[in-house]
Amino acid sequence: MTTSKIPEGLRRTNDPPLLILTSLAEGPKHGHALAKDVATFAGVRLSPGALYGAITRLEERGLITPLDSDDRRRPYRITGAGETALRDALTEMRHLADVGASRLKLATTALA
Amino acid sequence: MLRWYPATWRERYGDEMVALMEDELAGRRPDLRLRLSTAWSGVRERAHETGLVASGAPLERLRAGSVLVLFSWAVFVLAGISFSKIAEHFAQALPSSARPVAQHAFDVVAVLGVAGVAIVIVGTVVALGPLTRYVRGGGWVRVRRSVQGAVATSVVLLGATVGLVVWAHHLNSLQRNGHNVAYVSAFLLCGLLFAAVLAQWTQVAARWVRLVPWRSATLRVEAALAVALGVVMATITIAAAVWWSSIGLHAPWFLRGSRVGVAVSAFTPSIVATMTLMAGAGALGVVGVTRIARTWVTARDEGPQ
């Protein structure tokens, strides 16, 4: 599912819903475009089952919404609630990154 | 490849997912790994649909724990009915000195059985408000098919039960108790139908629990009731085991329907099956209660979902 070298228990960034919201923050995408984008920016290959499992949960919770389409490749866009949820998650991760960096005596930029 | 997914899910996402697979595979045949991961995702989606699996949020885990208790209660009811049938007229089979333990144990089962039903009724009443709002707000479409199925089976059960009662009035006691094969077969069929009705309504309830946007406070009340129901089931199981031990020790012939005083084993297939079912359902209930208890503290600070 991932090409990352970080041990399993330490990866917070391979959570499919978070990856999907991050991808959709750029603009609407359909399933294949989402999977390709996620693989590019996170190095995570989401299986069709994992991708659509996460899409189902996100849509149920109103964090993403489908757009009208005549094609079977239906695009999704992030909702206002989705943007808020993503912002909260990123803020939390930023806080964690800051704490970890300061304790390791690293500049946050050195983590990039 | 999508046959592992529930029909409603396939209806909504099936075409999209097939299109995604076609794009990803670009003409290649799906390999074993993809087939297995898709099957696993489908099974998980089924579990999600029943409400037994929750994703992340504490209130969702609280909801999943409550649904698990609800499912275990449905199975427990079947075991309880079987137990009450086995225990019919047991007091007459016991010597008076040995009667109190079995009688007290049976009373605990009976009283807590009623308490369990009362808890389920209270849970239903608490859920009525949000349920009505959900149905009026357009949610009916999402539950219509399962409700219609459950209603149809219930009507068939009602008709079959009335027919069975009328038939029973034309039979004597011996015929009703195993000497009329046709009647016994019809009785067993009715029992199966009852189990199907119970399963369908439980599924409807679980679906509602999953779909309705509960307020946090309401969900906590339901979770508290589920915990109470779990405790009730565990206590009933213990009391039933005490009853069985007492009968096994003092009047094992009662369980076999043998003559008084005949030395026989207390491990008859019917009581073993009943107690296994009861213990299994009780254990499942305890798992649900544990999930709720572990989530409780985290859920306390969450808002409505």
CATH code: domain of residue A33: 1.10.10.10
Nearest to B41 among A32, A49, A72 (CB): A49
Mutate to test the interface with B, among A34, A37, A38, A52 (most CBs of B within 10 A): A52
Answer with the residue of higher pLDDT: B63 or A36.
A36
> How many other β-carbons are positioned within 10 Å of the β-carbon of residue A83?
14
User: Is residue B80 assigned to a domain?
Assistant: no
Number of domains in chain A: 1
Q: For chain A, which residues lie within 8 Å of any Cβ of chain B, measuring from their own Cβ?
A: 17, 30-32, 35, 47-53, 55-57, 61, 71-74
Mean pLDDT of A37-48: 91
User: Is residue A110 assigned to a domain?
Assistant: no
User: Is residue A107 assigned to a domain?
Assistant: no
In the block, which residue shows the tokens 């790994």? B33
User: Is residue B4 assigned to a domain?
Assistant: no
Of the pLDDT bands very low, low, confident and very high (cuts 50, 70, 90), residue B305 is very low
User: Is residue A2 assigned to a domain?
Assistant: no
Answer with the residue of higher pLDDT: B34 or B302.
B34
User: Is residue B45 assigned to a domain?
Assistant: no
| Token pair in block for residue B43 | 């099974």
Question: Contact B20/A73, CB-based, under 8 Å?
Answer: yes
User: Is residue A90 assigned to a domain?
Assistant: no
Whole-number Å distance between alpha carbons of B112 and B233: 8
Nearest to A49 among B18, B23, B37 (CB): B37
Whole-number Å distance between alpha carbons of B298 and B220: 12
User: Is residue A74 assigned to a domain?
Assistant: yes
Mean pLDDT of B101-123: 95
CA of B129: how far to CAs of B193, B258, B261, B271, in Å? 30, 53, 57, 41
CA of A48: how far to CAs of A45, A63, B1, B22, B29, in Å? 9, 19, 11, 10, 15
Provide the residue range defining the domain that includes A26.
8-79
Least confident of A29-38, B54-63, B210-219, B235-244: B54-63
Residues of chain B with pLDDT > 70, as a percent, come to 93
User: Is residue B179 assigned to a domain?
Assistant: no
- Residue B39 C-beta-side C-alpha neighbours within 13 Å: 7
pLDDT tens-digit map of A64-90:
999 988 788 899 999 999 999 899 889
User: Is residue A103 assigned to a domain?
Assistant: no
User: Is residue B262 assigned to a domain?
Assistant: yes
Least confident of A24-33, B105-114, B122-131, B207-216: B207-216
Task: Please state, rounded to an integer, the average pLDDT across all residues of chain B.
Answer: 87
What pLDDT is stored for residue B251 in this prediction? Answer: 85
Provide the residue range defining the domain that includes B276.
94-143+201-299
Question: Contact A52/B48, CB-based, under 8 Å?
Answer: no
Mean pLDDT of B283-294: 90
What pLDDT is stored for residue B95 in this prediction? Answer: 81
Number of domains in chain B: 1
